[in-house]
Structure 1
Amino acid sequence: MSATTFTLHDLKRILLDAAGTDENVDLDGDITDLDFQDLGYESLALLETAGRIERLYGISLDEEAFAGADTPRALIDLVNAHLSAGRAA
């Protein structure tokens, strides 16, 4: 998939495909700065999400940086940084 920007919509779609959602969590709300654990996503679900992002967008996410991306905003910023670096190369 070729994209110039990774968005919250993209992340929500991939999260739902990779791990579903907790019935008590409303992903349609303002989740940008909520911790993934508060959204019901544990490390295994996030690893699956990272794998899907890497495959879909043709990038390789640094494990330490990914581990530090504990909110949707942080993960979106991380992915977009990789996409920008790829375009600049």
Structure 2
Amino acid sequence: MFTLDGLREIMDATGGADDGVDLGGDIGATEFTELGFDSLAMLEIQARVKQELGISFPEDSATLLLRPDDLVAYVNQNLVEV
């Protein structure tokens, strides 16, 4: 099972968060853009998830997976299907 904490580790490793953003806080329902993650940072996050868990993302994932909770749910749904 992929968790928000697992995603936090990946997000922290990408270094995409704006200064002053506490990734340890309640970020699940906050849009990635509000956290400071641009499209390039999101591609890196998705690449790391794919590398670690073998999960691929659709081309339109930027419009579907707007918040950390969305991404975690998508990964877990696809882990079950594997």
Structure 1: which 4+ aligned runs deviate by more than 6 Å?
none
Quote the Cα distance in structure 1 between the aligned partners of 2:55 and 2:35: 25
Distance 1:17 1:69, change over 3 A: same
Taking only the aligned residue pairs, the percentage that are identical comes to 40
Q: Is the radius of gyration larger for structure 1 or structure 2? A: 1
Matches within 5 A, 1:3-82: 5-64=1-60, 66-67=61-62, 68-82=64-78
Q: For structure 2, which runs of at least 5 residues remain unmatched after alignment?
A: none
Quote the Cα distance in structure 2 between the aligned partners of 1:70 and 1:81: 16
- Calculate the TM-score normalised by the size of structure 1: 0.84
Aligned residues: 81
The alignment's C-alpha RMSD in Å is 1.1
- Calculate the TM-score normalised by the size of structure 2: 0.91
- CA deviations on 1:7-47 (whole Å, 9 max, x unpaired) are 00000000111234322211111111000011010000000
- CA deviations on 1:49-85 (whole Å, 9 max, x unpaired) are 0000001001212222x22100000010111111011
